[in-house]
Structure 1
């Protein structure tokens, strides 16, 4: 079909949008973003990558724009002042166009091919299904593994039947309608448990896939000791204070 003068060819809408908050990830972006783009293209899926420069002080924004200029399916989003991992992720949601929306860090700890496998398992499912990775094989030190086990055990004791034994495992992929109903608000690292807790109350089925989790290849982890206290405080608030009652009444 030929175009009339003045008309422009329009690209098909993406099938999945992946949001990657990037805080000082200039070293990782040239590897993780192309790997994801190539893996989805080779599998025949239309991908949109929302790269959120989450108040970075390095060349994160420039790296994202370079990929965009090179024709990669990257949508750069700028957050002027870092307010946390969750805020960066939430800032990317309004820019996502696909029916399925996923979240993951930009550190490349989960192979791009595993992200594709998760999407392919989830795509035929109903909109009230969420897909996520369970980091079954993790290259962490003994202390971090112990903290992770204790943390997940605490979450399960407060919210039995949550549907996952790796609460913070990413990527997480949800249907746009489900995501909108969740009304997510956590600006820090608690966004991951908030998603699962709200999925639990919404009776969303959780499809969990085992995946190998690598150590970071570049850059630094931005998780701090204060994160443990934040998780503990927020878990107690969500479970015992009635904080979620207005949201649950709106469902």
Structure 2
């Protein structure tokens, strides 16, 4: 356990990443140390009870944390999906600035530096990427295009290009103000929509998005319908609260 507060807390969503969590953590450590950033890595290796007996992720992140004082393992039985995992990581950060990134290698670890550099260049509340080059397949590209277009139609005040893209870097004080409560994939949209309606500033930088060679995608038809349903529900809620 480290004794000083880090400059940057990086939450890594490692669900079902297995031994790749060690590879990705090493890549992150190298790029952060190369850029002289004092950091902590929060490796979120939550698991589903009874269904993940072959999943090496919880054991992998625990071992990494035991070996390195700059690594914290979050290993809990899942009570939700990606949003719950993200919030469980946010609960233990200690730095004043917080990054979150998927730990599956689709987003290059160098993006943390790109976004953080841009984030620090102005008085921004949130920094993030947008995927201007995608190598993860035609279907995923079309789904993302439809989702982002539908979001901008329902929430015209939201100006970001790519709502779900990570890494996202957020001031810790901003996280407290957002009061996030999504347990599922909607959490990326919740962050940006709430930040927009609170008048917070968001800056984006381009990135390249890679295919996942470690496992199949978790995004299927049910997830897409969930995305759309959440957007409609949230739009109705804001309408009731008289927020255009």
Question: What does 1:144-183 align with in structure 2 at a 5 Å threshold?
Answer: 144-183=140-179
CA contact (8 A) 1:27 1:219 kept: no
Partner SS for 2:42: strand
Q: After alignment, is 214-223 or 31-40 more displaced?
A: 214-223
1:33 aligned to 14, 25, 30, which one? 25
Q: Once the two structures are superposed, what CA deviation does each residue of 1:85-113 show, in whole Å capped at 9, x if it has no partner?
A: 10011111121000111212111112111
* Structure 2 unmatched ranges of 5 or more: none
Q: How many residues align?
A: 238
Q: Deviations over 1:142-192 (max 9, x none)?
A: 222111111111011111141311110011111011110111011000000
TM-score w.r.t. the length of structure 1 is 0.88
- 1:1-251 mapped onto 2 (5 Å cutoff): 11-55=3-47, 57=52, 58-71=55-68, 73-126=70-123, 129-242=125-238, 245=241
**Residues 1:214 and 1:10: Cα distance change in structure 2 (over 3 Å):** closer
Structure 1, gaps ≥5 residues long: 1-8
Cα drift, residue 47 of structure 1: 1.4
- The answer to whether the Cα contact below 8 Å between 1:34 and 1:72 also exists between their aligned partners in 2 is no
Classify the secondary structure of the residue corresponding to 2:75.
strand
Deviation at 1:217, TM superposition (A): 2.9
TM-score by length of 2: 0.90
2-structure distance, mates of 1:26, 1:237: 35
